[in-house]
């Protein structure tokens, strides 16, 4: 099925594999990273370097529920900072503390491209319009 | 309208992520249930999920097509579904002037399709976005998808395709505005070796969602454009890099790739030319710098998204050393329409130096936020004031607009006095801003420019890859100095240092991220310097 | 081999075509500080100290990766280049913790040399005083992150010459730091051959041999 290989070496699949493992386990533990390194025959330091470079890879377990606040320009102008402060108070957690209160954590997320609805809130992965406080 | 012929009555519900966030899901469920349950006489309307219907601020958007006419509704909820269906089923054309209070309530949601926001649009990239069902290949084919690819394979050589694109004057829509035809020639004319094409869908500029809308609303158009580009430069393999923040776009694109491969539109050798093209999807993992082309290639190869010094350019030595063509999603999606109308006709749209149409995402303090596709060279005022309506409740000649932020973190701010500037690459650059990928964020008078500059600087500091020192350390210092200024603890000497640092970061950074990171700061200093100086600590004469 | 002639600050020199401009600078007797460049390692053009102005180019180019070509005219000493170079060195001093007086590399440090070269008599940007770690887990060597300037020479020498792949950069932006293995103590990384090449190429006192450190200052593992 695979067409003729167009390169001397097919490009690495590391990022795809990391996505898969994070989907399975919720985060990328050191054990997972060590296994990935072994499977793909990559130096462990390289695997850790890649996993820690990208914001969406989590190296620590996430809380069961997560609330994201978009800090894109449009959301910022329409009160994202006040929204974040209000949510932090409501949930009793600090912004961008991945541990949260063990149940909820509050994080800033990069622009989701839903600027028409600013400010945008992401509840457990589902973006929705938030009323500016 | 083509749709009118096949389905006399249909409901096109915007199923893009913007309208989903505004409650399109609940509306779709209510419509589905009501249609399932029957009711009404007449032909049963068909419910069709479509891509972006443009006016995101009024979502969820729903278009009712009825015998060639079309009515657009915004902000509907499940409560209005029965009334809507009653109109759709029983009263063709009877949308206005009814005594039923429920109908009057529904009419309040109807949007004026003659408003400049819709009337001034010139859809080419988005010509079938909002009309086709992005999950249905047959529907896309009925709207002309892959027709240009097949025509070119049958009738044109790769060199002819490149010549047509050169004639069109199309320039890259990712922000730099490099002539597309020239880039294609550079790749095509490299010494014999495998070539690759890459679609750059790492749309990271905050406030930009053009590429997302194309991917979510019309994925086959991108695939057709990418295949045409591959044919023109002699590539058989390509990558589409999409940022992970766009899950719906990824889902739709993946489905479209599978459909096109299964149908033999892609992946199989064309009988006449032997051309076979295989696209592959790569998903980012949250790194703004990967929009830079050398970082993008590093990320596709599975590594850290670290840029490298150019030259060599990817067109000379890209992925695995192969000549690699990298085009932005919007550039590629412009190709089917461009090649259908011909290069000359395309070049006749907009200014000669910078022809064609451009999609802008308008957001911030405006009445109407959403997507507009307009000819290049249109004035900023037409887009943000005439079309988007200016600041809600804004008064005065400029509609309450203080400035327009263009080009995201690599762009700048243009004050209201410059609203009549025609939009093109060189024009905005000359004013210290940049077109960027096409995000326009409207600022009202409550926005403090130094605070906006600090926000963008902090953004760039967080997104710097950390490789070169001016960007890694310079952006952090600048963000801190601006923070100090916002807290009114900065002195005139600090402002001098800010300007020196900004110049060094611009001039010495390795890649585009660092080179443009100070742009919002520099452009607001240029047009709004008083907002900086009024925040400085007063001079302390006893210290000097 | 084709030879090209080009001008470095008004001196005409001849070098093989395609070699990095740094060679042309050397031929002209012009020395520029370089922190990421190492003649035995692949170039990364990260430190931006060897930027030169090439006639006709829109922005300065790093001499370590720009190829020499016939007829080039380049300048290494314009006021803009000098100011940029100095500010970059200042940024490095402010970014880490570099108290030379208590550093083993004092007097044998390329960062110090660069500071002397650019005439740094004061750091104009605020010191950041980061809180960093020291890794003393290796029996022969020490890693002091305070003095690391992230030049990546150690990463490259370990990959390209020793082939042990012990090092990598983790995180990004100002949070970037050098890691061994899976971000573990250096002494616990199995693939390390204790060859000492990383220590040899380190431009500062970040990677040092225990024997060079005055007795008693560091705990032994």
d(CA B18, CA B35): 24
Task: Let me know if residue B543 belongs to a domain.
Answer: no
- C112's tokens: 């110090």
**Domain range list for chain C:** 3-77, 86-212
- Asked whether the beta carbons of residue A117 and residue B21 sit closer than 8 angstroms, the reply is yes
Q: Which residues have C-beta within 8 Å of that of residue B424, sequence separation ≥ 6?
A: B350, B351, B353, B354, B376, B377, B435
B340 lies in the same domain as B364: no
Which segments of chain A have a pLDDT < 50? 1-10
Could you say which of C47, C126, C150 has the minimum Cβ distance to residue B477? C126
Say if CB B222 and CB B197 are below 8 A apart: no
Asked if the C-beta of C180 comes within 8 angstroms of chain A's C-beta atoms, the answer is yes
Nearest to B206 among A3, A72, A116 (CB): A72
Q: From edge to edge, which strands make up the β-sheet containing B412-415? A: B370-375, B357-364, B439-444, B401-406, B412-415
Secondary structure in 3-state letters for B193-224? CCCEEEEEECCCCCCCCHHHHHHHHCHHHHHH
Closest residue of chain B to A74, computed from CA coordinates = B364
**For residue A31, what are the β-bridge partners?**
none
Tokens at C180, concatenated? 């061994």
C163: left (phi over 0), alpha (psi -120 to 50) or beta: left
C181 contacts chain A (CB < 8 A): yes
Q: Which of A14, A29, A44 to mutate to test the interface with C (most CBs of C within 10 A)?
A: A44
Q: Are B163 and B280 members of one domain?
A: yes
Q: In this structure, what DSSP letter does residue C20 have?
A: B
Per-residue pLDDT at C49: 97
Residues of chain B short of pLDDT 50, as ranges, are: 1-6, 92-95
Please state the rounded mean pLDDT for residues C115-141: 95
Whether residue B205 is found in the same domain as residue B254: yes
> Does the beta-carbon distance from B510 to C176 stay under 8 Å?
no
| B410 in the same domain as B397 | yes
Residue range B57-111, pLDDT digits in tens: 998 999 999 878 899 999 999 989 988 888 877 654 444 555 678 888 888 999 9
Do strands B357-364 and B439-444 pair parallel, antiparallel, or not at all (unpaired)?
parallel
- In this complex, is the C-beta atom of A57 within 8 Å of any C-beta atom belonging to chain B? yes
List C-alpha distances in Å: B286 to A51, A109, B160: 11, 10, 39
What residues in A contact B214, CB-CB < 8 Å?
Answer: none
How many domains would you assign to chain B? 4
Does the distance separating the beta carbons of B466 and C150 come in below 8 Å?
Answer: yes
What lies within 8 Å, CB to CB, of B235 at 6+ separation is B187, B194, B195, B196, B197, B229, B277, B325
Domain C86-212 has CATH 3.30.70.20: yes
Task: Please report the pLDDT score of residue B105 as a whole number.
Answer: 87
Under 8 Å between Cβ of B436 and B208: yes
Domain ranges of chain A: 14-53, 65-129
CATH number of the domain where residue B484 is located: 1.20.1440.230
Residue B46 burial by Cβ neighbours in a 10 Å radius (0-12, 13-18, 19+)? middle
Same domain, yes or no, for B333 and B191? yes
pLDDT at position B45: 85
Residue B311 has a CB neighbour count (10 Å cut-off) of 12
Indicate if ipTM > 0.90: yes
Class of domain C3-77: alpha beta
Q: CB–CB of B364 and A18 under 8 A?
A: no
Q: Would you tell me how many other CB atoms lie within 10 Å of the CB of residue B111?
A: 21
On the question of pLDDT at C220 being above 80, the answer is no
Flag if C171 and A53 touch (Cβ within 8 Å).
yes
CA–CA gap between residue C167 and residue A48 (Å, rounded): 10
- Whether the CB of C82 is below 8 Å from some CB of chain B: the reply is no
> Could you tell me if residue B121 is inside a domain?
no
| A110: contact with C, CB 8 A cutoff | no
Decide which of 3.20.20.70, 3.30.360.10, 3.40.30.10, 1.20.1250.20 is the CATH code for A65-129: 3.40.30.10
CB contact under 8 A, B21 and A120: yes
Distance from CA of C141 to the nearest CA of B (A): 25
User: Which of C154, C156, C167, C170 to substitute to test the interface with A, most A CBs within 10 Å?
Assistant: C170
C171 to chain A, any CB pair closer than 8 A? The answer is: yes
Which of B285, B359, B412 to probe the A interface (max A CBs under 10 A)?
B285
* Direct distance between the N- and C-terminal alpha carbons of chain B, in angstroms, rounded to an integer: 75
**Rounded Cα–Cα distance for residues B448 and B451 (Å):** 5
CA distances from B364 to B402, B414, B536 (A): 12, 14, 28
B458 domain-assigned: yes
Which residue among B292, B317, B347 closes a domain?
B347
Other Cβ atoms within 10 Å of B58 Cβ, number: 23
> Looking at beta carbons, which residues of chain A come within 8 Å of B212?
113
B259 shares its domain with B331 = yes
Tell me, yes or no, whether B169 and B190 share the same domain.
yes
The answer to whether A25 faces chain B, any CB pair under 8 Å, is: no
For the stretch C152-190, pLDDT in tens is 999 999 999 999 999 999 999 999 999 999 999 999 999
pLDDT category at C214 given cuts 50, 70, 90 is: confident
pTM: 0.94
Q: Are B333 and B263 part of one and the same domain?
A: yes
A43 touching B (Cβ < 8 Å): no
Min Cα–Cα distance to chain A from C7, Å:
39
Q: Shortest CB distance from B405 goes to which of A15, A16, A73? A: A73
Q: How far apart, in whole angstroms, are the C-alpha atoms of residue C59 and residue C45?
A: 14
Nearest CA in chain B to C83: B504
Instruction: Tell me whether C47 touches chain B (CB under 8 Å).
Output: yes
Q: Which domain holds residue B314?
A: 137-347
Q: How far is CA C195 from CA A97, B234, B466, in A?
A: 40, 47, 28
Q: Which residue of C has its CA nearest to A45?
A: C181
Distance of residue C37 Cα from the nearest chain B Cα, in angstroms: 12
Q: Are residues B61 and B210 in the same domain?
A: no
Establish, for the pair of chains B and C, how many residue pairs have beta carbons separated by less than 8 Å.
91
Residue B68 lies in a domain: yes
3-state secondary structure of B412: strand
Within 10 Å of residue B90's Cβ, how many Cβ atoms? 11
Give the separation between CA C168 and CA C163, rounded to whole angstroms. 13
Tell me which chain B residue has its CA closest to the CA of residue A123: B21
DSSP state of B332: H
- Contacts of residue A4 in chain B, CB cutoff 8 Å? 236
A96 shares contact with chain B (CB less than 8 Å): no
C-alpha to C-alpha distances, C154 to B379, C23, C162, C196, C203, nearest whole angstrom: 53, 23, 10, 10, 10
């Amino acid at each position: 099925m695979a067409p003729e290989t167009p390169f001397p070496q097919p490009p690495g699949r590391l990022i795809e594999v990391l996505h898969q493992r994070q989907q399975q386990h919720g985060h990328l533990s050191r054990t997972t990273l060590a296994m990935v390194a072994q499977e793909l025959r990559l130096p462990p330091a390289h695997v850790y370097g890649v996993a820690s470079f990208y914001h969406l890879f989590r190296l620590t377990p996430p809380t069961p529920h997560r609330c994201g606040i978009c800090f894109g320009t449009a959301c910022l102008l329409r009160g994202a900072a006040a929204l974040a402060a209000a949510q932090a108070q409501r949930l009793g957690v600090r912004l961008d503390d991945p541990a949260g209160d063990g149940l909820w954590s509050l994080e800033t997320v990069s622009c989701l491209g839903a600027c028409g609805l600013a400010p945008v809130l992401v509840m457990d992965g589902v973006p929705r319009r938030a009323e500016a406080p | 309208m083509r749709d009118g012929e096949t389905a006399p009555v249909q409901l096109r519900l915007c199923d893009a992520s913007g309208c989903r966030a505004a409650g399109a899901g609940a509306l779709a469920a209510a419509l589905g249930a009501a249609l399932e349950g029957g009711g009404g006489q007449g032909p049963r309307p068909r419910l069709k999920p479509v891509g972006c219907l443009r006016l995101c601020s009024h979502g969820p958007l729903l278009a009712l097509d009825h015998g060639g006419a079309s009515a657009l509704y915004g902000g509907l909820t499940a409560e209005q579904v029965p009334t809507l269906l009653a109109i759709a089923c029983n009263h063709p054309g009877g949308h206005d002037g009814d005594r039923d209070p429920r109908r009057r309530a529904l009419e309040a949601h109807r949007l004026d399709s003659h408003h400049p926001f819709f009337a001034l649009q010139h859809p080419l990239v988005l010509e079938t976005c909002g009309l086709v069902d992005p999950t249905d290949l047959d529907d896309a084919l009925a709207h002309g998808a892959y027709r240009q690819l097949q025509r070119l394979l049958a009738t044109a050589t790769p060199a002819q395709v490149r010549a047509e694109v050169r004639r069109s004057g199309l320039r890259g829509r990712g922000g730099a505005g490099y002539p597309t035809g020239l880039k294609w020639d550079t790749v095509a004319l490299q010494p014999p070796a495998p070539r690759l094409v890459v679609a750059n869908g790492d749309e990271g500029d905050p406030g930009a969602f053009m590429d997302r809308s194309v991917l979510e609303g019309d994925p086959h158009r991108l695939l057709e454009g990418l295949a045409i580009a591959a044919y023109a430069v002699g590539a058989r393999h390509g990558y589409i890099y999409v940022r992970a923040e766009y899950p719906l776009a990824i889902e739709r694109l993946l489905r479209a790739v599978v459909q096109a491969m299964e149908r033999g539109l892609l992946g199989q050798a064309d009988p006449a030319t032997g051309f076979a093209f295989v696209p592959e999807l790569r998903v980012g993992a949250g790194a703004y710098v990967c929009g830079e082309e050398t970082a993008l290639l590093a990320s596709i190869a599975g590594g850290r998204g670290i840029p490298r010094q150019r030259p060599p350019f990817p067109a000379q030595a890209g992925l695995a050393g192969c000549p690699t063509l990298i085009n932005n999603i919007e550039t590629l999606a412009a190709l089917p329409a461009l090649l259908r109308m011909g290069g000359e006709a395309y070049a006749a749209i907009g200014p000669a130096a910078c022809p064609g149409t451009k999609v802008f995402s308008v957001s911030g303090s405006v009445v109407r936020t959403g997507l507009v596709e307009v000819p290049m060279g249109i004035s900023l005022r037409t887009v943000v004031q005439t079309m988007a309506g200016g600041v809600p409740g804004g008064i005065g000649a400029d509609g309450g607009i203080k400035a327009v932020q263009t080009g995201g973190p690599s762009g700048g701010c243009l004050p209201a006095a410059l609203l009549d500037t025609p939009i093109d690459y060189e024009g905005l650059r000359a004013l210290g801003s940049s077109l960027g990928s096409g995000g326009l964020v409207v600022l009202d008078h409550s926005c403090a420019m130094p605070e906006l500059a600090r926000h963008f600087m902090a953004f760039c500091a967080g997104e710097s890859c950390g490789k070169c020192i001016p960007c890694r350390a310079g952006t952090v210092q600048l963000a801190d100095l601006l923070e100090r200024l916002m807290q009114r603890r900065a002195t005139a000497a600090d402002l001098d240092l800010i300007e020196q640092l900004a110049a060094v970061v611009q001039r010495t950074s390795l890649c585009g991220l660092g080179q443009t990171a100070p742009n919002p700061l520099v452009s607001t200093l240029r047009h709004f310097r008083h907002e900086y100086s009024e925040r400085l600590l007063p001079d302390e004469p006893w210290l000097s | 081999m084709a030879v090209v002639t080009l001008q470095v600050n008004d001196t005409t020199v001849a070098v093989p075509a395609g070699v990095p401009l740094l060679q042309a600078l050397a031929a002209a007797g012009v020395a520029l500080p370089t922190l990421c460049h190492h003649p035995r390692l692949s170039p990364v053009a990260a430190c931006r100290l060897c930027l030169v102005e090439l006639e006709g180019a829109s922005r300065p180019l790093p001499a370590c990766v720009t190829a020499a070509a016939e007829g080039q005219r380049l300048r290494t000493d314009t006021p803009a280049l000098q100011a940029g170079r100095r500010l970059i060195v200042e940024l490095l001093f402010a970014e880490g913790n570099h108290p030379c007086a208590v550093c083993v590399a004092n007097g044998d440090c390329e960062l110090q040399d660069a500071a002397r070269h650019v005439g740094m008599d004061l750091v104009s940007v605020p010191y950041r005083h980061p809180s960093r770690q020291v890794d003393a887990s290796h029996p022969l060597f020490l890693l002091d992150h305070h003095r690391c300037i992230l030049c990546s020479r150690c990463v490259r020498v370990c990959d390209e010459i020793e082939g042990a792949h012990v090092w990598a950069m983790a995180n990004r932006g100002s949070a970037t730091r050098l890691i061994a293995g899976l971000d573990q103590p250096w002494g616990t990384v199995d693939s390390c051959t204790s060859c000492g090449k990383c220590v040899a190429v380190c431009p500062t006192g970040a990677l040092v041999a225990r024997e060079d450190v005055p007795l008693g200052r560091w705990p032994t593992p």
